[in-house]
Amino acid sequence: MICCGLVLASAPFISSLRPNASSLASLPRISLPPLEAGEYAHIPGVLYWGGILVFVDLAGETHLFGTLVYEGKTWVHDYRANIPLYQCEDFGPDFEIEEIYCKSDPYDFAHFRLDGTSFTKGQDALRRIPGHRQGDEFVFFRHAYLHSG
């Protein structure tokens, strides 16, 4: 009996923790390019520090990572030092070896797992963009990432 009373008394509190429809509708969103499993694309100029690498893995799940874009080129970036290391002509995933890396890198420096964690000692993980896919759009969990200009 006491348990039922506790459950009934806590129900309004628990339901108040869910975000309301207007706060969800105000979250920023971007249109995603149409991608099939095993495909990727870059969306430049969306984030205040650059663009987004978006890909759909072979299981059909969509992943978004922030990339540093300068003068229209993707750069491999050292996040701890906050500096671009070098330009990359083709930064993206290779689904056969399950890695994200710069395919045009003569130094073969930075390699990442498909979840964004680094294989390379001393290299930070890629910055995963928090949010979720909703149809053909990606809904950001917060406004701070978006470029305002």
Read off the pLDDT band of 98 (50, 70, 90). very high
Read off the pLDDT band of 32 (50, 70, 90). very high
| CB-based contact 92:105 (threshold 8 Å) | no
Q: Is the dihedral of CA 121, 60, 52, 107 positive or negative?
A: positive
3-state helix, strand, coil in the chain (%, to 5): 15, 40, 45
For the chain, percent of residues with pLDDT exceeding 70: 71
Q: What would the mean pLDDT of 65-70 be, rounded to a whole number?
A: 82
**pLDDT at site 51:** 86
**What's the token pair of residue 40?**
């990727």
Q: What would the mean pLDDT of 24-39 be, rounded to a whole number?
A: 86
Strand pairing category for 29-31 and 137-140: antiparallel
| CB-based contact 29:145 (threshold 8 Å) | no
**pLDDT at site 54:** 94
Instruction: Identify how many contiguous H helices and E strands the chain contains and give both numbers.
Output: 2, 12
Residue 4 in this model has a pLDDT that exceeds 70: no
Q: What would the mean pLDDT of 56-82 be, rounded to a whole number?
A: 81
**pLDDT at site 29:** 87
From CA 102, how far away is CA 140, in angstroms rounded? 26
From CA 46, how far away is CA 18, in angstroms rounded? 28
Residue 19 in this model has a pLDDT that exceeds 60: no
